Amino acid sequence: MADEGPGRNLRPLTLHVPEPRFRPGDVVDFGDLHLPGAGETRRPPIDSAPADMRELCYQLVRVLDEEGRAVGPWDPKLAPERLLMMLRQMALVRAFDERMYRAQRQGKTSFYLKCTGEEATSVAAAHALHRDDMCFPSYRQQGLLIARDWPLVDMMCQIYSNAGDRLKGRQMPILYSAKEASFFSLSGNLATQCPQAVGWAMASAARGDTRIAAAWCGEGSTAEGDFHSAMTFAAVYRAPVILNVINNQWAISSFSGFAGAEATTFAARAIGYGIAGLRVDGNDALAVHAATEWAAERARNNHGPTLIEHFTYRSEGHSTSDDPARYRAADERSAWPLGDPIERLSGHVTRLGLWDAERQAAMERELAEQVRLAAREAEKQGVLGNGMHQPLSTMFEDVFEEMPWHLKEQARQMREEGEAAGL
């Protein structure tokens, strides 16, 4: 009989559905979040075996303490000029984001995506890499380009898809591509950049080159198959690559638990693949720089890949298409215990006697004006809906090295019809 089976007295099975800690209207309290103190996490030699450093996947690399002092073995001891440049570039990223966000709200572009609160994860990392190391970013790493002194006007033209857009309107806004900056073309598909970075790194090693690769993805993207394919190839071939996971707590409308954050850390994914893993305070620019520099030297000396989880917080909505007030408690941003990366670095250089509040305010005004002038220059070449910005002939270009006959015929027909219509 069916009711005589061995499980007739067992409880019914249940399914766990992750729920965020706070919802709109909740009082936010991160008091139970365990954060190791600055300087507590050990810094192993770059040639350490992954099995000998597993605890680093569960701890947190921190350098700046609550008073803004740089402490512990991970302190990169950066020169004052480097610290001030990183601070300036992080502030420039934020000013750029603010201007482009307003441009989207004014109808000048269809889409924009801020990285507010995450600026250190790109700017500080860029300073720890060589200028020709290849970066495979996600869509919140505009700081890589700014840290590599890429022209703001060029970035804005891509956002506006105007006549000055080097990508000729073929990419969504913010999906930049800058080969000269060692910045690989962004893709709207999640995690595709991870196996691309590993493949590029493998090719660099196969050629006997000295350049390494680095990729960035969000914590939600670690649930994608491409991420795990990248981890497998990186582990097997010991590719000279850094895989950065930006754990900013939220995807659009869903929290990090849906990608596995309730069970373990994202850095712990490294353990299963047998590669080095680090968990880093992503709002501490010095910690990000130190961890990236450590991983880069490890890769450059043929000791294998590193997975870095940057523990941070997305302060703004996922994009201009998102309203975080619908799913997130209002005061989560202000309650986040790791603070704001720009404020923390500013506090550090102030403590060193290199900076003060007046200079910070003056710099922010200067950068806002720099971004405003760049936007004015870019908008001279057009904005969204302001006519056709690229010649029609470009739809046939940049695909084949030698254009096939049928496309030549179609291009000829298009020109003739255009001329007949007076276009």
The predicted model gives 345-367 an average pLDDT of: 98
Share of the chain above pLDDT 90, in %: 88
In what helix (H) or strand (E) does residue 142 lie, and over which residues does it extend? helix 142-147
CA angle 106, 112, 117 (to 5 degrees): 115
Q: Is the pLDDT at 275 greater than 70, yes or no?
A: yes
pLDDT at 188: 87
pLDDT at 252: 84
Q: Is the pLDDT at 349 greater than 90, yes or no?
A: yes
CB-hemisphere CA count at 13 Å for 108? 22
DSSP secondary structure letter of residue 70: B
Q: Give the fold, CATH level 3, of 33-379.
A: Rossmann fold (3.40.50)
57: tokens are 């996947």
pLDDT at 387: 75
The pLDDT tens digits of the residues spanning 66-116 come to: 999 999 999 999 999 999 999 999 999 999 999 999 999 999 999 999 999
**Rg (the chain; Cα; Å):** 24
Residue 5 banded pLDDT, cuts 50, 70, 90 = low
pTM of the model: 0.94
The pLDDT tens digits of the residues spanning 177-211 come to: 999 999 999 998 999 999 999 999 999 999 999 99
The predicted model gives 53-61 an average pLDDT of: 98
Indicate the domain borders of the chain: 33-379, 391-423
In what helix (H) or strand (E) does residue 281 lie, and over which residues does it extend? strand 276-281
DSSP secondary structure letter of residue 226: H
Yes or no: say if 82 and 123 are a contact pair by the CB < 8 Å rule: no
pLDDT at 423: 72
Q: Which of 187-201, 364-378, 389-403 has the lowest mean pLDDT?
A: 389-403
DSSP secondary structure letter of residue 240: S
Residue 256 banded pLDDT, cuts 50, 70, 90 = very high
pLDDT, the chain, mean = 95
> SS3 helix, strand, coil % of the chain, rounded to 5?
45, 10, 50
pLDDT at 240: 98
Distance CA 48, CA 25 (A): 47
pLDDT at 43: 98
Q: Is the pLDDT at 3 greater than 70, yes or no?
A: no
Q: Is the pLDDT at 4 greater than 80, yes or no?
A: no
Q: Measured between alpha carbons, how far is residue 200 from residues 99, 234, 418 in Å? A: 34, 11, 42
Q: Is the pLDDT at 119 greater than 80, yes or no?
A: yes
pLDDT at 2: 56
Strand partners, 277: 307
Strand partners, 241: 213
What lies within 8 Å, CB to CB, of 262 at 6+ separation is: 18
pLDDT at 393: 84
pLDDT at 422: 80
Residue 254 banded pLDDT, cuts 50, 70, 90 = confident
CA angle 374, 379, 381 (to 5 degrees): 115
